[in-house]
Amino acid sequence: MFRRSRAARLEKKLKRALKRLEAKERELRALRRRLESTYAQLPPLLRLLELARSFDRELYERFYPRVREAHSEAMELANRIDELQSTIEGEMENLRRLLALIQVLRERSRRRWRW
């Protein structure tokens, strides 16, 4: 029965972790695009809100919840992006350690076969 070497098992684990990390990075890019579009909507809404405040209280009261909602969404997205970014950074550090361990195991394996 063939048994995989420890380095081979760790390489397989590394590949799976890289795929998960790539998925998180795609999610991060999507969140950033969404945040950019949300922030792009805010300045016109704020200008409209300021104009409405000065001459039409009813219009102001109608638009204020929308502006507040857009701002809240932007803040939630920013928080989610921060969380995801720190998760990605932590996983990258773990992957670097795993890669270093794999390299050490491969080097040890080569030394054994030379003798």
- Asked if residue 1 is part of any domain, the answer here is no
Give the model's pLDDT for residue 31: 95
**Which residues constitute the domain of residue 10?**
6-108
Q: Which two tokens stand for residue 69?
A: 């909602």
DSSP 8-state code for residue 1: -
Please tell me the predicted confidence (pLDDT) of residue 113. Answer: 65
In a domain, 48, yes or no: yes
Residue 50 lies in a domain: yes
pLDDT of amino acid 1: 42
Determine, yes or no, domain membership for 97: yes
Residues in the chain predicted with pLDDT less than 70, given as ranges, are 1-3, 113-115
Residue 21 lies in a domain: yes
The contacts of residue 38 (CB under 8 Å, 6+ apart) are 70, 73, 74, 77
Tokens coding 115: 């003798």
Number of domains within the chain: 1
Cα(74)–Cα(58) distance, integer angstroms? 25
